[in-house]
Structure 1
Amino acid sequence: MSKVIRFKIDGKECMANEGDYIVNAAKANNIYIPTLCNLEGVKPKGSCRICTVKVNGRLMTSCTTPITEGMEIISNNDEINELRKMIVELLFVEGNHFCPSCEKSGNCELQALAYRFRITVPRYPYLFPQKEVIASNPKIIKEQNRCIGCKRCIRTIKDEKGHNIFAYSKRGHKSEVIIDPDLGAKMTDELAEKAMNNCPVGSILKKEKGFIIPIGQRKFDKKPIGNEIENIKI
């Protein structure tokens, strides 16, 4: 049986099981810490840095840092929120995100975080990179313009033998997530659906399934991101 320990987040006394990651311990105490790469039940990587908090004076990713007895965490102050806002803005400008025409609009976690941080126009210049749309797969479309490199698809979408269907290609600023042509061609409808749902943005879309839920009735159209954790009445 796990040991229950005490810690503080933004001055609030909290309790959680020893060894829980900070982001999960915060959620158990109705405190929302935003993430993009993290997915419940999947080993965390800390690649997006959106969940950064200050632990005993040091900046750390909350999805990869286990909670310990007496830990003091700062998650909601001007410094941390400015850092998170900057990361969201940079993700927008380094890709080509056109929210009004995107199938994921209203269900997109990046878009929802932009609303949460009250971002209307990023402060940084748009790069307008030339990226391709991979439509050769029989089940899905891989829209590289919207990919944020969170690695969710790489970590969660595997064939029956455990082989990764998605993988990184190239290096540095040219790196991109691609689909293995042979394994991808054998994807089931269920796996294609899972890939689309696990993607936090509109980079993976299942073919022949678009705009089924009307805009205005989608997840983040109804309630802002984090609302289900913070229990804020709308």
Structure 2
Amino acid sequence: MVIQIKIDGKNINARKGANLVDVALENGIYIPTLCYLKGEPCLGTCRVCSVKVDGATAAACTVPVLHGMEVEVNEPEVADMRKALVESLFAEGAHNCPSCEKSGRCDLQAVGYEVGMMVSRFEYRFTPRQRDYGSEKILLERDRCIFCQRCVEFVRDEETGKKIFSISGRGPKARIEINVELANKMSAVEVTRAVNLCPVGTIVEKKVGFNQPIGRRKFDIKSIRERALEGETK
């Protein structure tokens, strides 16, 4: 069923129940995301896609479109909220972009550019979280994790369907965990997929490191906004 909604005053036809992030992109309107993956169940963990829907703030990736809905993406208050959320993610972890293997390919870094972040308004915590070297194929840089839960939900052992990653602890003691036995069974393709699914530099493939020179990295070539509007998925 085709319905009509408004996004930033623009009348848009959409399929009833379609995801708001997807509808916006299909109509040339970019909404930043870090946890959302088109075609996968919505996680709604990062809130970086926050917009106003009929005057109330909501995470766009959790919103199915309904007839008559009015959405504000670039309203100043909600735009600053998205920027603050990105700044808080930088402040909570240890994101030293120049020394990170994911620099130039990092969704958080790319979204930071998109929201106009220069420095965080929040005090940097540099929360210490011990690295995990246990797997033969994957290094976990825990202090970069933003707890989007992509790896937890979308990376599974092909034979058993069991989750390879999980989160232990709560609050400031939370950290990402890896099932070493299952991780050691992963093929090269599966490892690469896990690395690419991670929006930051938490999941690092061992013995690879900095394998793309500056100028040829993913977001050097094309911005995260351009890639999203062109329909690129992970």
- Bin for the TM-score computed over the shorter chain: over 0.9
In structure 2, C-alpha distance between the alignment counterparts of 1:192 and 1:222, rounded to whole Å? 23
In structure 1, C-alpha distance between the alignment counterparts of 2:58 and 2:36, rounded to whole Å? 14
- SS in structure 2 at match of 1:133: coil
TM-score where L is the length of structure 2: 0.94
Pick aligned residue for 1:60 from 58, 61, 64: 58
Show the counterpart of 1:227.
226
CA shift digits 1:188-225 (9 cap, x unpaired): 22211110000011111111222222122212112322
Q: How does 1:107-186 map to 2 (within 5 A)?
A: 107-160=105-158, 161-186=160-185
In structure 2, C-alpha distance between the alignment counterparts of 1:179 and 1:45, rounded to whole Å? 20
CA RMSD of aligned residues (A): 1.3
CA shift digits 1:160-202 (9 cap, x unpaired): 2211000110112211111012222222222111100000111
Opposite residue 11 of structure 1, the aligned amino acid is G
In structure 2, C-alpha distance between the alignment counterparts of 1:230 and 1:23, rounded to whole Å? 11
In structure 1, C-alpha distance between the alignment counterparts of 2:205 and 2:114, rounded to whole Å? 27
Opposite residue 39 of structure 1, the aligned amino acid is L
In structure 2, C-alpha distance between the alignment counterparts of 1:120 and 1:229, rounded to whole Å? 22
User: Which aligned runs of 4 or more in structure 1 are off by greater than 3 angstroms?
Assistant: 228-231
In structure 2, C-alpha distance between the alignment counterparts of 1:123 and 1:216, rounded to whole Å? 29
TM-score where L is the length of structure 1: 0.94
Structure 2 residue runs without a partner (length 5+): none
Q: Is residue 215 from structure 1 mapped to residue 214 from structure 2 by the alignment? A: yes
Work out the percentage of aligned pairs sharing the same amino acid: 45
Structure 1 residue runs without a partner (length 5+): none
CA shift digits 1:129-187 (9 cap, x unpaired): 11111111011111001110000001110012211000110112211111012222222
Show the counterpart of 1:103.
101
Alignment check: 8 A CA contact 2:114 2:225 kept: no
In structure 2, C-alpha distance between the alignment counterparts of 1:105 and 1:141, rounded to whole Å? 16
In structure 2, C-alpha distance between the alignment counterparts of 1:230 and 1:27, rounded to whole Å? 5
| Alignment size in residue pairs | 229
Show the counterpart of 2:71.
73
Alignment check: 8 A CA contact 2:129 2:175 kept: no
Q: Which sits farther off after the overlay, 112-121 or 75-84?
A: 112-121
In structure 2, C-alpha distance between the alignment counterparts of 1:205 and 1:133, rounded to whole Å? 11
The offset of 1:32, in angstroms, is 0.6
Show the counterpart of 1:197.
196
In structure 2, C-alpha distance between the alignment counterparts of 1:58 and 1:43, rounded to whole Å? 23
In structure 2, C-alpha distance between the alignment counterparts of 1:117 and 1:52, rounded to whole Å? 12
In structure 1, C-alpha distance between the alignment counterparts of 2:101 and 2:218, rounded to whole Å? 13
